[in-house]
Amino acid sequence: MMSAALRLNQIPVKRVWQKNPLRMASTFLVESEKYSFLKDLGLGKVNSGVFNGEWTGNGEIVQSIDPASGDVIAEVKTGSVSDLEKCLQVGTEAYKQWRNMPAPFRGEIVRQIGEELRKYREPLGKLVSLEMGKIKAEGVGEVQEFVDVCDYAVGLSRMYSGQILPSERGKHTIIEKWNPLGIVGVISAFNFPCAVFGWNAAIALTVGNSVLWKGAPSTPLVSIATTKIVSDVIKRNSLPPVVSLCQGGTEVGKKMVSDERVKLLSFTGSTQIGREVGVEVQRRFGKFLLELGGNNALIINDDAPLDMALDAAFFGCIGTAGQRCTSTRRLIIHEKLYDEFVAKLVKRYNLLNRVGHPLDEATLYGPLHNQQAVENYKATIAEAVKLGGKIECGGKLIERPGFFVEPTIITNLPHDSPVVHKETFAPIVYILKSKNLNQAIEWNNEVDHGLSSSLFTSSIGSAFQWIGENGSDCGIVNINTSPSGAEIGGAFGGEKHTGGGRESGSDAWKQYVRRSTITVNHSADLPLAQGIVFE
Residue of 291, 392, 406, 423 marked catalytic = 291
Could you tell me which of 341, 333, 330 has the C-alpha nearest to residue 307? 341
The dihedrals phi and psi of 433, each to the nearest 5 degrees, come to: -105, 120
Identify the CA nearest to 212 among candidates 143, 223, 73, 314: 223
- Give bridge partners of residue 183 from the DSSP assignment: 210, 262
* Alpha-helical runs (H) found in 319-405: 338-350, 371-386
Distance from C-alpha of 223 to C-alpha of 49, rounded to nearest angstrom = 8
Q: At residue 526, what is the residue type?
A: L
DSSP secondary structure letters along 273-297: HHHHHHHHHHHTT-EEEEE----EE
Domains within the chain, CATH numbers bracketed: 53-292+502-515 (3.40.605.10), 297-491 (3.40.309.10)
> What pLDDT shows up at residue 19?
41
The whole-model pTM stands at 0.94
**Count of Cβ atoms closer than 10 Å to residue 524 Cβ:** 6
Please report the pLDDT score of residue 485 as a whole number.
Answer: 84
Whether residue 54 lies in the annotated active site: no
Q: Within a 10 A sphere around the Cβ of 61, how many other Cβ atoms?
A: 13
Mind listing the pLDDT tens digit of every residue in the chain (535 residues)? 333 333 333 333 333 333 444 445 468 999 999 999 999 999 999 999 999 999 999 999 999 999 999 999 999 999 999 999 999 999 999 999 999 999 999 999 999 999 999 999 999 999 999 999 999 999 999 999 999 999 999 999 999 999 999 999 999 999 999 999 999 999 999 999 999 999 999 999 999 999 999 999 999 999 999 999 999 999 999 999 999 999 999 999 999 999 999 999 999 999 999 999 999 999 999 999 999 999 999 999 999 999 999 999 999 999 999 999 999 999 999 999 999 999 999 999 999 999 999 999 999 999 999 999 999 999 999 999 999 999 999 999 999 999 999 999 999 999 999 999 999 999 999 999 999 999 999 999 999 999 999 999 999 999 999 999 999 999 999 999 999 988 999 999 999 999 999 999 999 999 999 999 999 999 999 999 999 999 8
List Cβ neighbours of 203 (8 Å cut-off, separation of 6 or more). 149, 153, 156, 503, 504, 508, 509, 512
- Among candidate residues 201, 223, 187, the one with its CA nearest the CA of residue 147: 201
Q: How far apart are CA 468 and CA 510, in angstroms?
A: 24
Q: Rounded CA gap, 126 and 359, in Å?
A: 7
Q: Strand 262-268's sheet: what is its strand order?
A: 55-56, 50-51, 243-246, 210-214, 183-187, 262-268, 287-291
Count CA atoms within 13 Å of residue 209 on its CB side: 31
Closest C-alpha to 350, from 408, 410, 285: 408
Q: Report which secondary-structure segment, H or E, holds 83.
A: helix 81-98
247 by Cβ neighbours in 10 Å (0-12 / 13-18 / 19+) ranks as buried
CA distance 101 to 320: 40
Helix (H, G, I), strand (E, B) or coil at 384: helix
What is the structure's pLDDT at 26?
62
Distance CA 79, CA 158 (A): 37
Query: Which of 43, 9, 94 lies closest to 227 in space, CA to CA?
Result: 43
Question: Which of 6, 5, 1, 9 has the alpha carbon at shortest distance from 216?
Answer: 9
Would you tell me the crossing angle of helices 338-350 and 306-318 to the nearest 10 degrees?
A: 50
Using DSSP, state whether 319 is helix, strand or coil.
helix
Three-class SS string for 408-423?
EEEECCCCCCCCCCCC
How far apart CA 497 and CA 447 sit, in angstroms, is 9
